[in-house]
A = this chain, B = another copy of it.
Amino acid sequence: MANIQQVAKHAGVSVATVSRVLNGKDKVTAKTKQKVEEAIQYLNYEPSMLGRNLRNSESRIVLILIPTISNPFYFEIIKGIENMALSQNYSILLCETDSKPEKEEIYFDLLRKKMADGVISMDPAVNVETLKELAENYAIIQCSEYGGGIGIPYVTIDSEEASYRAVKHLIQIGHRKIALMNSDEKFLYARERRMGYERALDEHGIPLNGDYIFYTQELGFEQGQLAMKKILQLEDRPTAVFAVSDLLAIGALKEINAAGLNVPKDIAVVGFDKIDFSNMTNPALTTVAQPMYKMGTVAARMLIEKIQGKTVDSVVLGHELVIRESTTG
């Protein structure tokens, strides 16, 4: 547990020289460098980031805000962020907010107290006012979800278009009675996905049926089951369901099976996100793939640039419809 003073003393040089060897940007003679390195070896010295961070007024930590760790949707994004961050010597603090303002505040406080250099928010339920306020003084990027027009840079996909394509696929394979399992429209992406749904119907001359649109409070498996229960009770039962998350879709799948019906023969199902599990279900799920890893790396790069004081622009990434058994049997 030696410090830089002791290393300097042992090497017979000043702390400045030790620091220079450590950081390697200022010049030191090969000979002194060796002396210092020997002392470091000998004393088993590891520079303390506490001292360095204070001096540099940085923590080299970035926060990732997610509503819950249980949604596999975030896995690849997080990996993307992590790898990019690590390559730039940042570590990531994963923050589960449970969509609760109290927990959100705990993590925002880390930012205010300089324990974190920036935030990547993926929580759609984040308090936009607080975020806007924080963005004036701190580096903040929104990833996947974004509040819309608040001047915080974001990286996301074109939800409207993705939704449009998913529904169009269902129409093209012959469906006309298509239910939409959406999340609460207080979220921008939910509104966008409904618009895509409507545009696809409209374009193919299918009248909009309000009874076919369902809203769920969260994007989980249970909510999917519940919504599907309601759909199955409709008099004029849809022949296809488009769910705005894979977990919802997997819930629907299970419920359809439980009712003794077949996917996709009786009801086709499309999900959204292409989480790992969408491939493990029976049948495998047709779904919209978001470029999650890329999204993560892009978000991380943007954040780091923001931290360095550069101005960064928002990014919209592409997506892809992955057609599997739940629509084509």
Contact = CB atoms under 8 A, between A and B. Distances in A.
Interface residues of A, number: 47
Given A69-B75, A70-B72, A70-B75, A91 B114 contact: no
Given A94-B92, A96-B79, A113 B47 contact: yes
A118 interface: no
Nearest to A279: B221
Contact of A282 (B60, B113, B282): B282
Interface string A53-66: 11001011100000
A281 B48 CA distance: 48
Contacts of A280: 221, 250-251, 254, 277, 281
Contact of A91 (B49, B115, B277): B115
A49 B115 contact: yes
Contact of A93 (B48, B93, B103, B221): B93
A324 B19 CA distance: 62
Contacts of A60: 115
A108 to B, nearest CB: 10
A202 interface: no
A205 interface: no
Given A48-B114, A61-B61, A69-B79, 6 more contacts: A46-B113, A49-B110, A79-B96, A221-B280, A254-B280, A282-B282
Interface of A: 1, 46-51, 53-54, 57, 59-61, 69-70, 72, 75, 78-79, 82, 86, 91-94, 96, 103, 106, 109-110, 112-115, 137, 221, 250-251, 253-254, 257, 276-277, 279-282
